[in-house]
Amino acid sequence: ELKSMRGVASGTLEVVAITTAEYFVPHLLAEFGRRFPDIKFRLTVENRDRVHALLHEQRADLAIMGQPPGGMALRRIPFSPHRLSFVARPDHPLAARRNIPPAALAGERLLLRERGSGTRSNLERFLRAHGVKPLAADELGSNETLKQAVMAGMGIAFLSHHTFAMEVESGRLIRLDVADTPVIREWNVLVHAERPLTPALEALLEFLQTDGAAMMRAITC
């Protein structure tokens, strides 16, 4: 059990989260902040290219993302499974079906995240693995836009469970029961290998590996 250690660790931590991590990172930092009230944060939410650059240039103490970027030496701490699934509006013809074969997606209009997004590359990998070519694919720029477009009846989307928990709970979206989903990936905490481990950074890393990971098990839908 990590104790509150007022005064032991202080300073400002620069944390960068990949877009989809914005749904849970504040919950982790809020709890950490209660235990270490003398540590402040600057949290930025960025796309993959920016997260990569901030890590590479050592302008972030720590990054939270899925697939780690290549080309630099990193300390990597996997800390939670990450589930992704297809979602639709509850009145969509596939919504009531069970164990939908991935081939059935070929007739659908799919809504995609922007190029470079980890969510998008996971979808592309899934479609490739199952030999599925969607009827049409529209590119929309963010998790939030995708959800709104699905709710507006534009098509179906492939999203992280973190992004749609509330909409599924309120009945505005439905997770499609597609075979071989959820796709399970991993959330990682990444620190540049040359980044000095200050007491504040060490405290955050320890928190994320222990109580943070436990919180993720409770949050994860």
Using the contact rule CB under 6 A, the part of the chain among 24-32, 65-73, 88-96, 165-173 near ligand PGA is 65-73
Count helices and strands in the chain by DSSP H and E runs: 7, 9
Q: How far is the CB of 47 from ligand PGA (least distance, A)?
A: 6
Among 16, 23, 48, 167, binds ligand PGA (CB under 6 A): 48
Q: How far is CA 49 from CA 24, 116, 117, 150, in A?
A: 21, 8, 9, 26
Q: How far is the CB of 98 from ligand PGA (least distance, A)?
A: 28
Among 13, 24, 117, 216, binds ligand PGA (CB under 6 A): 117
Check binding of 65 to ligand PGA (CB under 6 A): yes
Question: What residue type is 216 in one-letter code?
Answer: M
Give residue for tokens 């939670």. Answer: 80
Among 15, 16, 66, 174, binds ligand PGA (CB under 6 A): 66
Q: How far is the CB of 82 from ligand PGA (least distance, A)?
A: 6
Among 52, 92, 113, 161, binds ligand PGA (CB under 6 A): 113
Tokens matching residue 168: 């599924």
Q: How far is the CB of 130 from ligand PGA (least distance, A)?
A: 20
d(CA 93, CA 95): 6
Backbone angles phi, psi at 182, to 5 degrees: -60, 145
Write the binding mask 18 to 47 for ligand PGA: x where contact by CB under 6 A, - elsewhere. Answer: xxx--------------------------x
Neighbours of 177 (CB within 10 A): 15
* Residues found in the chain: 221
Cβ(205)–Cβ(62) below 8 Å: yes
Q: How far is the CB of 95 from ligand PGA (least distance, A)?
A: 24
Cβ(176)–Cβ(100) below 8 Å: yes
Which residues neighbour 102 within 8 Å (Cβ) at sequence distance 6 or greater?
126, 127, 130, 132, 178, 179, 180
Check binding of 80 to ligand PGA (CB under 6 A): no
Check binding of 62 to ligand PGA (CB under 6 A): no
Contacts with ligand PGA by CB under 6 A lie at 18-20, 47-48, 65-67, 113, 117-119
